[in-house]
Chain A
Amino acid sequence: MIESLDLLFSASLWAAVLRIATPLIFGVLGALLCERAGVLNLGIEGIMTMGAMIGWLSVFLGADLWTGLLVAAAAGALIGLLHALLTVPLGLSQHVSGLGITLFAAALAYYLYRLIVTVGESPPTIEPFRPLDIPILSDVPFLGPVLFAQTAPTYLALISVAIIAYVLARTPLGLAIRMTGENPHTVESQGLDPTLIRIGCVMAGSALMALGGAFLTTAAFNSFFPEMVQGRGWICIALVVFSSWRPGKALLGALLFAFLDAYQLRLQAVVEGVPYQLFLMAPYLLSIVALILVARRARVPEALMTPYRRGER
């Protein structure tokens, strides 16, 4: 018992929280951006898988790590464009298209991977991002290892939260995006193009999702394997609801889930006689509880999942 509480004060737990949260932060931000413009993007799971693959592959083929991230983001945006074209101008069901994109992108990622790496071979590795060792700051007890010795993409994720939050709340473009998710007819009657805004948001959001995937292969691990996203995309979709479509709360939700995940891993080692599957379940169960408590008051964007057709109400 004491031991399990002691864990809470270990710097390694909290450092792990930020690390585990990073792909979730990217993913939830991306999903949030799509949904704020009125498009549900269930392609997230596949886009993250593709991001993970492309990020790894680029570095494996000789690109540097940052170029790898960039290429992964571009690949994400491209798949996002496909989802956007199907759901925005063509107005197809966003659920169906999203699930299709997930199946397609995950399978395509695996296929491309197999073109390079044959079956049976052990997964080739790359040299991943190293934790930054920010001078002086990283030597501060406790806070140092938690906050100032993460890998670079983690800081990029945190900066992205601030940027998306600022753009949505403070800029005319952000207002137009939010309005597109609420009532695209209004946007059109102000002479703006809701179709373009939606396509842009889905592409940018998908790029963020792909970055989340790429983090897995270029920072958290150093190789790619097909099931590595492991439902993180679906967690992000739930976290968007948890966050009431607000970036700040989305960050909080990602951290909360990551904390539960990191904590249960360590508890498994300390608490004996409980099947480990129960620990694995815990973060998901607690997420559902949190969702029930928080999401009831959430304000869903009114036009979420409603295709916009000009001149029709």
Chain B
Amino acid sequence: MSTVLRLASITKSFGSVTANDHVTLELKEGEILALLGENGAGKTTLMNILFGHYAADEGTVKVFGKTLPSGRPRAAIRAGVGMVHQHFTLAGNLSVLDNVMLGSEPLLRVRSRRAEGRARLLALSERFGLSVDPDARVSGLSVGERQRVEILKALYRDARILILDEPTAVLARPEALCLFDTLQSMTRQGLSIIFISHKLNEVMAAADRIAVLRGGRKVAERTNAETSPEELAELMVGSRVTRPKREAHAIGAPRLVAEDVTVHLDSKPALKGVSFTAHAGEILGIVGVSGNGQVALGSLLSGVAAPETGRLTLEGREIGGLGPRALIAEGVGRIPEDRHAEGIVGELPVWENGVLERLATPRFARYGFVRRGAARGHAAGLIKRFDVRGATPEMRIRLLSGGNIQKLILGRVLAAAPKVIIANQPTRGLDEGAIAAVHAELLRAREAGAATILISEDLEEALSLSDRLQAIVGGRLSQPVAAGEADSRRLGLMMAGVWEELGNAV
């Protein structure tokens, strides 16, 4: 097999931070190479250098034996490199064909050759089994479909080397499996692929070869056959990271109780007569494939949506429909699903974000003025106690990595000693180290007697943290099962809606 791509000794610093430190990497024709590393290990920077978004301080990029000029995306595209970004670079108001054709023609051509473009797009879509409608508007497409458009965009420009940045971060599991099938078929047609990931199981499932980055350096390179998930985890983190274990302990009185609750979103029923009981000192896991009512459940429990029918009570008092602020005052802590949209205000400094939910309390405000000293001190305390790395109270929070933002949100919730914690997909998109930290904190809150509702798509996470589990399917909840009686097979069946015949519910 010939080498199609060679990165030689790439070095790149941003200020005092070295993002890439003499990284050398080779890609062979027809192989899938995984670039594995935690958030902040320098994976995305490396790929942005390869694609010409950034100019490297040192080192060269050779594609098919020719050195690319640095900092020129157009040259990378010409050389046959295509990149599928993590945050898709599509325009929602325009059609699929518009998005694919942009930049593929000379800018000053008098008439765009759209008929040809359409035929070519359809041919590619056929050849690689990526079905799309050229005239659909992108904003109406699902994330999976948008990703297909991104891939087709690269193929349309005759990409021979495809780079995918965390391609599965936005996909549900079946879509991810489908994507990997597509990638395999592409390599059979001669394409070479690099994908970036921090998920061990998908790297093991899909890659021929795996390069591990840590702290900006390449620390190891293995073929799939000669390594194991355990070894990769260790290489990636630098030491063995183990997720904390749930210890059995006595569970207290019922705290948060829903009885036959129905919730409408956009005037359609999204939760249909659900009931559950979360006890003090208990983690109740709600598992399910996304899109089955999790959004409505999250909205109900954070006070954004009110129940149409049924009761939601906290220690016996009705709290359904009280509104978010009242719920926070009642002792409900929320870790929202979309941390960037609902959890934080990116442009504000860390200290303001740290007190966002409690601005009206005497501790952080007096006579209508924010007590800055107290708020700053609070933020400094959160940063220290919850190990929010790279943060100072004054910096804009959006400059932090996802894992560190999540630690701050978690800290904000836990510092208020909540009675109930709503943790909605608390570790989505986080790396192994951050996941372990989040899990440990949730378990500590459980020890302290909080009742936690854990809404998660990640079966492994739900199984390891929850005392009891319920599946959410089509807006309905199954009967709860105790953790001891659940395994991933049984949960899988429950998530598919097969729960009536299982019997022996707890």
**Which residues of A are at the interface with B, using a C-beta cutoff of 8 A?**
170-176, 178-179, 182-183, 185-192, 299, 301-302, 311, 313
A178 touches B103 (CB 8 A): no
B107 touches A189 (CB 8 A): no
Given contacts A176-B102, A182-B91, 20 further A-B contacts (CB under 8 A): A170-B112, A171-B109, A171-B110, A172-B101, A172-B105, A172-B109, A175-B101, A178-B98, A179-B91, A179-B99, A179-B102, A182-B92, A183-B89, A183-B91, A186-B102, A189-B85, A190-B104, A191-B52, A192-B103, A311-B54
Instruction: Please tell me which stretch of B69-77, B140-148, B174-182, B206-214 contacts chain A, meaning at least 4 of its Cβ atoms lie within 8 angstroms of it.
Output: B69-77
- Give min CB distance, A93 to chain B, whole Å: 14
Return chain B residues, CB-CB under 8 Å to A299: 93
Chain A, Cβ-Cβ closest to B105: A172
Bound Cα distance A35, B454 (Å): 45
Bound Cα distance A255, B506 (Å): 72
Bound Cα distance A6, B492 (Å): 76
Secondary structure dominating the interface of A = helix
Residue B90 lies at the interface, judged by CB distance under 8 Å to chain A: yes
Return chain A residues, CB-CB under 8 Å to B110: 171
Bound Cα distance A182, B106 (Å): 20
B102 touches A187 (CB 8 A): yes
A172 touches B106 (CB 8 A): yes
Indicate which residue in B54, B73, B89, B107 contacts A172 across the interface (CB closer than 8 Å): B107
Bound Cα distance A175, B109 (Å): 11
Bound Cα distance A183, B91 (Å): 6
Bound Cα distance A238, B111 (Å): 31
Secondary structure dominating the interface of B = loop
B112 touches A175 (CB 8 A): yes
Indicate which residue in A173, A178, A186, A313 contacts B90 across the interface (CB closer than 8 Å): A186
Indicate which residue in A190, A302, A311 contacts B93 across the interface (CB closer than 8 Å): A302
Interface residues of B, count at CB 8 A: 32
Return chain A residues, CB-CB under 8 Å to B83: 189
A192 touches B107 (CB 8 A): yes
Return chain A residues, CB-CB under 8 Å to B108: 172-173
Return chain A residues, CB-CB under 8 Å to B102: 175-176, 179, 186-187, 190
- Give min CB distance, A313 to chain B, whole Å: 6
Indicate which residue in A170, A175, A188 contacts B73 across the interface (CB closer than 8 Å): A188
A175 touches B111 (CB 8 A): no
- Give min CB distance, A274 to chain B, whole Å: 44
Interface membership of chain B positions 447-475, coded 1 if the CB is closer than 8 angstroms to chain A and 0 otherwise: 00000000000000000000000000000
A170 touches B111 (CB 8 A): yes
Residue B389 lies at the interface, judged by CB distance under 8 Å to chain A: no
Return chain A residues, CB-CB under 8 Å to B112: 170-172, 174-175
Residue B53 lies at the interface, judged by CB distance under 8 Å to chain A: yes
Return chain B residues, CB-CB under 8 Å to A170: 111-112
Bound Cα distance A182, B138 (Å): 12
Return chain A residues, CB-CB under 8 Å to B104: 172, 190
Indicate which residue in B72, B74, B77, B94 contacts A178 across the interface (CB closer than 8 Å): B94
Bound Cα distance A191, B106 (Å): 12
B93 touches A182 (CB 8 A): yes
B73 touches A179 (CB 8 A): no
A301 touches B93 (CB 8 A): yes
- Give min CB distance, B196 to chain A, whole Å: 16
- Give min CB distance, B323 to chain A, whole Å: 28
Knowing A178-B98, A299-B93, A302-B93 are in contact, say whether A191-B107 is a contact too (CB < 8 A).
Answer: no
Chain A, Cβ-Cβ closest to B77: A191
Residue B366 lies at the interface, judged by CB distance under 8 Å to chain A: no
Indicate which residue in A171, A178, A187, A190 contacts B111 across the interface (CB closer than 8 Å): A171
Knowing A311-B54, A313-B87 are in contact, say whether A190-B73 is a contact too (CB < 8 A).
Answer: yes
Chain B, Cβ-Cβ closest to A197: B107
Return chain B residues, CB-CB under 8 Å to A313: 87
11 example contacts (A-B, Cβ-Cβ < 8 A) are as follows A171-B112, A172-B106, A172-B108, A175-B112, A176-B103, A178-B94, A182-B93, A186-B89, A189-B83, A192-B103, A302-B93
A186 touches B107 (CB 8 A): no
B94 touches A191 (CB 8 A): no
A185 touches B98 (CB 8 A): no
- Give min CB distance, B309 to chain A, whole Å: 33
Return chain B residues, CB-CB under 8 Å to A191: 52, 72-75, 77, 103
Interface membership of chain B positions 108-122, coded 1 if the CB is closer than 8 angstroms to chain A and 0 otherwise: 111110000000000
B87 touches A190 (CB 8 A): no
Bound Cα distance A182, B54 (Å): 23
- Give min CB distance, B136 to chain A, whole Å: 15
Bound Cα distance A280, B110 (Å): 44
Give residues 149-173 of B contacting A (CB, 8 Å).
none
- Give min CB distance, A140 to chain B, whole Å: 34
- Give min CB distance, A306 to chain B, whole Å: 13
Knowing A188-B73, A190-B77 are in contact, say whether A183-B90 is a contact too (CB < 8 A).
Answer: yes
Chain A, Cβ-Cβ closest to B53: A311
Bound Cα distance A221, B110 (Å): 37
Bound Cα distance A178, B95 (Å): 12
Bound Cα distance A173, B75 (Å): 20
Give residues 54-88 of B contacting A (CB, 8 Å).
54, 72-75, 77, 83, 85, 87
Bound Cα distance A160, B204 (Å): 59
- Give min CB distance, B202 to chain A, whole Å: 24
| 3 tightest A-B CB contacts, nearest first | A191-B74, A190-B103, A182-B91
Bound Cα distance A175, B104 (Å): 11
Bound Cα distance A176, B111 (Å): 13
Bound Cα distance A101, B52 (Å): 36
Indicate which residue in A173, A178, A182, A188 contacts B107 across the interface (CB closer than 8 Å): A173
B89 touches A302 (CB 8 A): no
Return chain B residues, CB-CB under 8 Å to A190: 73-74, 77, 102-104
- With most chain A CB atoms within 10 A of its CB, the pick from B83, B103, B108 is B103
Chain B, Cβ-Cβ closest to A301: B93
Bound Cα distance A301, B92 (Å): 9
Bound Cα distance A263, B183 (Å): 65
B98 touches A176 (CB 8 A): no
Bound Cα distance A187, B77 (Å): 13
B98 touches A175 (CB 8 A): yes
Return chain B residues, CB-CB under 8 Å to A174: 112
- With most chain B CB atoms within 10 A of its CB, the pick from A175, A179, A188 is A175
